[in-house]
Amino acid sequence: MNDVLHQGALSIRQAGKIYDPAGAAVVALEDCSAEIRAGEFVAIVGPSGCGKSTLLNAIAGFDRLTSGEILLDGVTLASPGTEPRPGPQRVVVFQHGALFPWMTVLENVIYGPTRQRVLGADAARAKALDMLRRCGGLDTAGQRYPGQLSSGMQRRVEIVRALMNEPKVLLLDEPFRAMDTVSKSAMHRHLLDIHALYPKTVLFITHDLEEALFLADTVYVMTTRPGRMKTMLRVNLARPRTLDMLVSHEYLELKRQVVAGVHEEAQKAFERGERELA
């Protein structure tokens, strides 16, 4: 168990990515660095188009970096010379959800271990039901199709599907973006519980500063194009996190420290969007 806990240290070293759509080089990521400890819950905050997803794509192995490198437990994950290769060490939970709608909840959840052949079908099913049950009694929905679940349940099932692979890093790409305030708050509770149960390294990408401060141990604020780490903030709120912390002095003080910076970046991104549309 201890061994597992000490896996999942992520170091991002001067990562850079230049997209080259027909020669008009777009610098999505430049000199972006961060050291993430194993088991740490990290949130990356930034406006739309700031390169958060680019960074996530590089870590997940969907896309190549053009400079710098990213290491997971000392092993190179991404660099200009590394062929991008996604794998179960770092599993993504997608912004719009990517449960396979043609598979039942259970089939979705056992997909990883059975495809990787680390578990037989029966063992995988037993493990899946156990995890689904622990993560808020989802096991009763095992035989249903994702389309028959609420969006909150879908997102939790997707997180369980990711955790089934014993990943070193869990990558969450604005998973609660499309949700209303009430569901979002409920999902925060669920996510914190799940993280307490399965303390993996979590990289949580969001544009919502309050969400980031409430959930994470460390919050990075990213600049907009080129994407760079602008500010790093340690969130020293105790765990388990409770709703009353949202009005605590420490929380508000942290928020005060970065809110101006985040707003400035959002404004820059907005103006750039206006310019690009014009």
The residues of the shown chain that bind other proteins, judged by CB under 8 A, are 19, 21, 26, 28, 48-49, 52-54, 57, 60-63, 86-88, 90-92, 94-104, 111-112, 115-116, 145-151, 154, 161-162, 165, 174
Q: How far is the CB of 230 from other proteins (least distance, A)?
A: 18
Q: How far is the CB of 250 from other proteins (least distance, A)?
A: 30
61 versus 235: smaller Cβ distance to other proteins: 61
Q: What whole-number distance in Å separates Cα of residue 201 and Cα of residue 15?
A: 19
16 versus 146: smaller Cβ distance to other proteins: 146
70 versus 237: smaller Cβ distance to other proteins: 70
148 versus 242: smaller Cβ distance to other proteins: 148
115 versus 263: smaller Cβ distance to other proteins: 115
Q: How far is the CB of 220 from other proteins (least distance, A)?
A: 16
Q: How far is the CB of 217 from other proteins (least distance, A)?
A: 24
In degrees rounded to 5, what are phi and psi of residue 128?
Answer: -60, -45
Whether residue 146 is preceded by a cis peptide bond, meaning omega within 30 degrees of 0, is: no
63 versus 69: smaller Cβ distance to other proteins: 63
Q: How far is the CB of 45 from other proteins (least distance, A)?
A: 13
Q: How far is the CB of 172 from other proteins (least distance, A)?
A: 13
Q: Are strands 26-36 and 10-19 parallel, antiparallel or unpaired?
A: antiparallel
